[in-house]
C-alpha cells in the first residue's frame, strides 16, 4: 500500500514574532515538533513561511520588483535569513526525534514571472517515502524574466501538493481559520469567495497575506485537492484527521 | 559579450583536516577567500569536497551500499555534516566581500545508480551571471535505484562544467598535481592514463580519491573541456590564467 503524503504549512507568524522584534519562537517550535513526533512516521512534508526572517530583507532590496546587478546582494542576504529560520525548524524537529532535513527552494526550484515553474520534487518524494520529513520554506528563487523573486510557502505548498499527489494539505496559522466579519468561514469555494471580505495582513508580508494564500488554495482545489486552514493549536487534530474548527477550501 | 564561467573545486583535504580530527581549516579558507575576492566579479562557481565532514558519517551508515528504512538516518546526518562545512566556506567568502551563496546538492540534484542525473543548473547559471558565486559541495543525493548515494564534488564539477559550458575548470588540492612515481604529470589524456601508476588516497574517502577524480575529468575532456589540477597555493595563478605547475587533463 502506498501511504498518502500529507503537507503541513507552518505560517510565518507562528514560527516567528512577525509583528515584533524578528525572533524565532523556539518554544512554539518545540511544542509543534513534539506533536509531530508523537504521531510517528507521518509521510509528512513541512513548509514554513518566512515571517520576520526574510520579509524585511526582501523589502529592503526590493526583490519583488526584479533583481539585477544593482540589488543582487539581496538574494544571498534574504536567503540566509530564511535558511537560518529553516535550520531552527529542522533542529526543533530533530530534537524531538523527527528525522527531518532542510530543503532550500533557492537550490531546488526555478520560477518565471514570480510563479514557481519547477522544483526537484522527485528527491522530496523519495525522502518522504523513506520516512524522512523534508522541511521547505518561503525563499528567494531565481526567475527567468525577473532575475529572482520571492516564492511564498503557499506557492510551494500548492506546487508540491500537485506534484506529489498529496492526500491532505493543512495550513496552521495564528487565526482560527479564514475570517469573514469576525467569524470562521467553514468552507470556501471559488464560487462564493468573491462575497467574502477578507482583510489584508497588517504585518510585513511581500507574498500577499491571506488573499494570496486563498488564491493558491483555490488553484489547488481546482485540481481536486482539498486544503485546511486552522489555528496552530489544532495541528494534532489535522494530523489525526479530526475536526479542527477552521476553514476547508474545496472545489 | 557573455563572459566565460569558471569552476573551482576546493578539495576536501584543503578545507578540512581530512586525516585528523575533523576540523575545518578556517585560516586556509580565509586566505583562499581573499585571493578570490581580490579578483572581483569572477563568474565563478565553487564546489568543495566533504573531507572529514561527511565521509565518516557516510561510511558509518553505509550510504554507498544503498539506503532503505534501516539506514535512512544517515541521509540527514551526512547532509548536516557537509552542509555545516558549506556554511563555513560561504561565510569565509562573504567575510572577504565575495557575494557567495550555498547551494546544497541534496535539494538541487538527483541521481541514479550512483551517477548524477540532473541538477537545477538554470538557477546556478543565473546566479553566476548576476555576479553571485554559488558554492556547492559533495553531498548525499537521492538516487532512483539505490535510495540515496554520495555524489562527489568531482561529479558535480563535471556535470556543471558541461551544463554551464564552463570555460575553465580548476581543482585545487593538497598535492602539486597528479603524481606518477613522485613527479607531477603535466598532461593526462585518456590514451596514456593507463600507463600511470596513481595511488589511492590513504584517507577516508568514499568517492574514489584521485582515480575517481581523473575518471570524471577524462569524461569532461571527452566533451572538449580541459581541466587543471594544481596545489592550493596556485589558486590565484589558475584564476589569472597563469602557469600553475600542475596537471592538465585534456582530450
User: Which CATH number belongs to the domain containing residue A45 in this structure?
Assistant: 3.40.1160.10
The candidate with the shortest Cα–Cα distance to B105, out of B90, B89, B120, is B120
The candidate with the shortest Cα–Cα distance to B82, out of B158, B133, B152, is B152
Residue A239 lies in a domain: yes
The helix/strand/coil state of A116 is strand
Looking at residue A191, its pLDDT comes to 85
Q: Which residues pair with A44 in a beta bridge?
A: A6
Residue A78 lies in a domain: yes
Looking at residue A204, its pLDDT comes to 44
Residue A19 lies in a domain: yes
Q: Is B70 on the interface with A (CB under 8 A)?
A: no
Residue A45 lies in a domain: yes
Its pTM stands at 0.93
Chunked into runs of 10 residues, chain B (251 residues) has average pLDDT values of: 84 77 84 94 91 88 94 97 96 97 98 96 97 97 97 94 95 92 91 68 52 86 94 95 95 90
- pLDDT tens-digit map of A60-96: 999 999 999 999 999 999 999 999 999 999 999 999 9
- pLDDT tens-digit map of A183-211: 999 999 998 777 776 654 444 445 556 77
| Those residues with Cβ within 8 angstroms of residue A236's Cβ, 6 or more apart along the chain or in another chain | A35, A38, A39
Probe site for chain B from A40, A71, A90, A106 (most B CB atoms < 10 A): A106
Cα separation, A42 vs A4, in Å, equals: 9
The helix/strand/coil state of B64 is helix
Cβ–Cβ < 8 Å for B59, B136 = no
Domain span at A100: 6-249
A184 Cα to chain B: minimum distance (Å): 37
Cα separation, B226 vs B237, in Å, equals: 16
pLDDT band at A215 (very low <50, low <70, confident <90, very high): confident
Q: Are A72 and B130 a contacting pair at CB < 8 A?
A: yes
ipTM attached to this prediction: 0.91
Q: Which residues pair with A47 in a beta bridge?
A: A9, A136
CA angle A80, A83, A85 (to 5 degrees): 115
**Residue B69 is nearest to which of A69, A110, A130, comparing CB atoms?**
A130
CA-based end-to-end distance of chain B:
27
Q: Are B130 and A94 a contacting pair at CB < 8 A?
A: no
Residue B1 lies in a domain: no
CA angle A214, A154, A182 (to 5 degrees): 40
**Residue A69 is nearest to which of B68, B110, B131, comparing CB atoms?**
B131
Q: Are A107 and B120 a contacting pair at CB < 8 A?
A: yes
CA angle A216, A219, A221 (to 5 degrees): 110
Element (H or E) spanning B90, and its range? Answer: helix B73-95
Question: Phi and psi for B34 in degrees, rounded to 5?
Answer: -65, -45
Looking at residue A195, its pLDDT comes to 74
Looking at residue A211, its pLDDT comes to 77
Looking at residue B202, its pLDDT comes to 42
| Sole residue written with cell 554520495 | B150
Looking at residue B195, its pLDDT comes to 74
| Sole residue written with cell 524531538 | A96
Looking at residue A110, its pLDDT comes to 98
| Those residues with Cβ within 8 angstroms of residue A155's Cβ, 6 or more apart along the chain or in another chain | A115, A116, A207, A216
DSSP summary character for residue A46: E
Q: Are A103 and B99 a contacting pair at CB < 8 A?
A: no
- For B178, half-sphere exposure in the C-beta direction (CA atoms, 13 angstrom radius) is 26
- pLDDT tens-digit map of A112-162: 999 999 999 999 999 999 999 999 999 999 999 999 999 999 999 999 999
Angle between helices A209-222 and A153-164 (to 10 degrees): 10
Residue A1 lies in a domain: no
Cα separation, A15 vs B187, in Å, equals: 55
| Sole residue written with cell 524522512 | A132
Cα separation, B171 vs B185, in Å, equals: 15
* DSSP states along B18-59: TTTT--B-HHHHHHHHHHHHHT-S--EEEEE--TTTTHHHHH
CA-based end-to-end distance of chain A:
27
| Those residues with Cβ within 8 angstroms of residue A166's Cβ, 6 or more apart along the chain or in another chain | A4, A5, A6, A7, A45, A160, A225
Residue A103: is its pLDDT beyond 80?
Answer: yes
Q: Please report which residue ranges of chain A form alpha helices under DSSP H.
A: 12-15, 26-38, 55-60, 73-95, 105-108, 121-129, 153-164, 209-222, 235-240
- Measured between alpha carbons, how far is residue B215 from residues A135, A167, A169, B174, B190 in Å? 35, 44, 46, 19, 9
- pLDDT tens-digit map of A36-65: 999 887 799 999 999 888 888 999 999 999
Residues of chain B with Cβ-Cβ distance to A127 below 8 Å are 75, 142
How many structural domains is chain A composed of? 1
Residue A164 lies in a domain: yes
Cα separation, A208 vs B92, in Å, equals: 35
- State percent of chain A over pLDDT 90: 74
Residue B130 lies in a domain: yes
Q: Give the number of residues written for chain A.
A: 251
The helix/strand/coil state of B85 is helix
Looking at residue A201, its pLDDT comes to 45
B/e letters for A70-79, b = 16+ CB within 10 Å, e = fewer, are ebbebbbbbb
Q: Are B101 and A101 a contacting pair at CB < 8 A?
A: no
Angle between helices A153-164 and A121-129 (to 10 degrees): 70
Residues of chain B with Cβ-Cβ distance to A103 below 8 Å are 106-107
Helix/strand/coil percent split, chain A, to 5: 40, 25, 35
Amino acid at each position: 500500500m502506498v501511504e498518502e503524503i500529507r503537507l503541513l504549512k507552518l505560517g510565518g507568524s507562528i514560527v516567528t514574532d512577525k509583528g515584533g522584534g524578528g525572533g524565532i519562537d523556539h518554544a512554539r517550535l518545540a511544542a509543534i515538533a513534539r506533536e509531530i513526533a508523537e504521531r510517528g512516521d507521518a509521510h509528512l512534508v513541512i513548509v514554513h513561511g518566512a515571517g520576520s526572517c526574510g520579509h524585511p530583507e526582501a523589502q529592503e532590496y526590493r526583490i519583488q520588483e526584479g533583481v539585477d546587478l544593482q540589488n543582487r546582494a539581496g538574494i544571498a542576504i534574504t536567503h540566509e535569513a530564511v535558511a537560518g529560520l529553516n535550520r531552527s525548524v529542522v533542529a526543533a524537529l530533530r530534537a524531538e526525534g523527527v528525522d527531518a532535513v532542510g530543503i532550500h527552494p533557492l537550490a531546488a526550484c526555478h520560477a518565471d514571472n514570480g510563479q514557481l515553474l519547477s522544483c526537484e520534487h522527485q528527491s522530496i518524494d523519495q525522502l518522504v517515502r523513506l520516512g524522512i520529513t523534508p522541511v521547505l520554506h518561503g525563499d528567494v528563487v531565481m526567475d527567468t524574466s525577473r532575475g529572482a523573486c520571492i516564492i511564498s510557502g503557499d506557492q510551494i505548498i500548492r506546487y508540491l501538493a500537485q506534484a506529489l499527489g498529496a492526500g491532505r494539505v493543512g495550513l496552521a496559522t495564528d487565526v482560527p481559520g479564514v475570517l469573514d466579519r469576525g467569524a470562521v468561514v467553514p468552507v470556501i469555494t471559488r464560487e462564493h469567495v468573491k462575497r467574502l471580505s477578507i482583510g489584508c495582513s497588517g504585518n510585513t508580508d511581500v507574498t500577499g497575506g491571506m488573499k494570496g494564500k486563498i488564491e493558491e488554495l483555490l488553484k489547488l482545489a481546482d485540481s481536486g485537492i482539498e486544503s485546511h486552514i486552522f489555528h496552530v493549536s489544532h495541528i494534532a487534530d489535522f494530523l489525526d484527521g479530526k475536526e479542527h474548527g477552521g476553514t476547508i477550501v474545496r472545489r
